[in-house]
Amino acid sequence: MFSTKFLPNTLKGFRSLQPFLIQTNAQRSYKRWFAPTLMEIKRRKDNLGPQPPSKRSSFIEWNYNAELFAFGKRLNENFDENLLKNAFVNRSFILQEEVRQREAGVDNPEVNLIDNRKLIENGENFISKIVKKFLVDNLPQFPEEGRNAVHDYLLSETVLSNISFHIGTKDIILSAEFPPNESTLADTLKAVIGALLQSSGEERAENFVKDFILTQLNGKDVNDIWRVDDPMGILQKLLAEQNRGEPEPRLLNEAGKNTILACFEVGIYSDKQLIASGFGESIQIAIEVAARQSLKKIFKTEDNLAPFSYNTPQSSISLNP
């Protein structure tokens, strides 16, 4: 009789597991009817054509209060229950319910809900102040026009609706349309921040804005958000305000002239000092690139700009109107 006394431990372990492995493989095998059934289900689904998205609230196990509670816990925030409910009630939903009651024969329809218009206004004003304060702290040399462009980008419907969708507001929103459009998603995020402001105070609401809205600037170039149409004209104006000489473009290097691989390097000088240089396939393009690089250097928004700090001290800008 063969003894396993002198076998290595690995072989002993394999022999002890062998019956289990054989049994597991047998359980994993598919029945012959499995693949044809899946094919038939797919065929019937394709015959139905595209279906409208179903509301999560139409599911049997849907619990709206539980969803609201879970929403706050996912964000690690403590909301006032009534304020959070109001934040998700769009005005269109109340109007829709009033129409339904009139169609059912109710003369004076009553909907015991408060829409989120006031919370939207409070949230938008608060977001705007926090964003402006943050941009002043982190981009002090950037022109006000540029900061306004970045501010408008962060408060745009596209950015806010994307944030709102990914924190899970879509299925909780009470509105006439489903799925909610960008405007409704963006307004709901503003209302949620307005509700958080009243529930937990300015500090928690400010941290929320930093975590979810201001972080949208990560990986973005503020110079691309504020696109300058006439960089040389703006550069000339800035140098004049600083009592410096007019910008003078000078050709520094060239390669492959009169070929499809031509490359020119142009430098921008002021008072015989080089500000910045740029490259282009033509001299005119190189001048424009050099002017943009000069603006970046003056605004301190170069390509090697350090990441934004989200723990900046409180600015002198007051949060109170």
pLDDT at res. 295: 86
Q: How confident is the model at residue 73 (pLDDT cuts 50, 70, 90)?
A: confident
Identify which has the larger pLDDT, 279 or 61: 279
Which 3 state secondary structure label does DSSP give 273? strand
Per-residue model confidence (pLDDT) at position 60:
61
The percentage of the chain sitting over the pLDDT mark of 90, rounded to a whole number, equals 12
Q: In terms of C-beta density within 10 A (0-12 exposed, 13-18 middle, 19 or more buried), how is residue 98 classed?
A: middle
What is the fold of 64-222? Ribonuclease iii, N-terminal Endonuclease Domain; Chain A (1.10.1520)
pLDDT at 83 over 80: yes
pLDDT of 40 over the 90 cut: yes
Q: What percent of the chain has pLDDT over 70?
A: 83
pLDDT of residue 180: 84
Residues of the chain with CATH 3.30.160.20: 228-299
Q: Of 205, 213, 209, which Cα lies nearest the Cα of 154? A: 213
pLDDT of residue 20: 47
Query: For 241-253, how does the pLDDT look when each residue is reduced to its tens digit (9 = 90+)?
Result: 888 888 888 898 8
The mean pLDDT of the chain is 80
Q: CA distances (Å), 124 to each of 16, 138, 184, 193, 207, in order? A: 66, 21, 13, 8, 15
Residues sharing a CB contact under 8 Å with residue 187, sequence separation 6 or more, in sequence order: 90, 116, 120
Q: Which residues pair with 278 in a beta bridge?
A: 266
Give yes or no for residue 80 having a pLDDT over 50.
yes
Tell me which DSSP letter residue 58 carries.
G
139-169: string of b/e by CB count within 10 Å (b at 16+)? Answer: beebbeebbebbbebbbeeebbbbbbbeeeb
pLDDT digit string (tens) for 108-156?
777 777 888 889 889 999 999 999 988 888 888 888 888 899 899 999 9
- Smallest CA-to-CA distance from 270 within 245, 241, 240, 294 is with 245
- Integer CA distances (angstroms), 214 to 148, 304, 305, 314, in order: 14, 19, 16, 15
Q: How far apart are CA 275 and CA 249, in angstroms?
A: 10
E-assigned strand segments in the chain: 248-255, 263-270, 273-280
**Tens-place pLDDT, residues 221-236:** 888 888 888 888 888 8
Q: Name which CATH class applies to 228-299.
A: alpha beta
Tokens of 146: 């540029």
- CB 195 within 8 Å of CB 111: no
pLDDT greater than 80 at residue 51 = no
DSSP code per residue over 301-313 = --TTPPPPPS-PP
Query: Mind listing the pLDDT tens digit for each residue in 308-318?
Result: 777 755 444 44
- Has residue 14 got a pLDDT over 50? no
